[in-house]
């Protein structure tokens, strides 16, 4: 399910917060919606592994030094720039795949 389908299902008034406001590159990493009676809003749930795969592929497509490890670089980017930020009560949920 991509962001357009979720907005249609939950309505524009729900105002779900998606990863990458303009870029839909992470839509394939959406695995669901979190609805918690203690949370005022539903939140988008992303697969961490799918996010890492997307970031790693992007890194690997660029120029790398010989000792660069795209997987390590992807994890560092994800934890520092994406999952490490709190953007309010609509912050996405990160699901670590088992």
Domain ranges of the chain: 3-95
The band of 22, judged by pLDDT with boundaries at 50, 70 and 90, is: low
Residue 35 burial class via C-beta count within 10 angstroms: exposed 0-12, middle 13-18, buried 19 and up: exposed
If one compares 57 and 22, the residue with the highest pLDDT of the two is 57
Please state, in angstroms and rounded to a whole number, the distance separating the CA atoms of residues 36 and 13.
17
pLDDT of 98 reads 85
């Amino acid at each position: 399910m991509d962001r357009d389908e979720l907005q249609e299902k939950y309505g524009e008034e729900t105002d779900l917060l998606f990863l990458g406001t303009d870029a839909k590159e992470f839509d394939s990493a959406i695995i669901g919606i979190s609805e918690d009676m203690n949370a005022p809003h539903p939140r988008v749930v992303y697969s961490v592994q799918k996010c890492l795969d997307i970031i790693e592929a992007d890194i690997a497509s660029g120029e790398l030094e010989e000792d660069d490890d795209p997987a390590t670089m992807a994890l560092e980017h994800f934890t520092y720039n994406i999952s490490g930020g709190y953007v309010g009560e609509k912050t996405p949920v990160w699901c670590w795949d088992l």
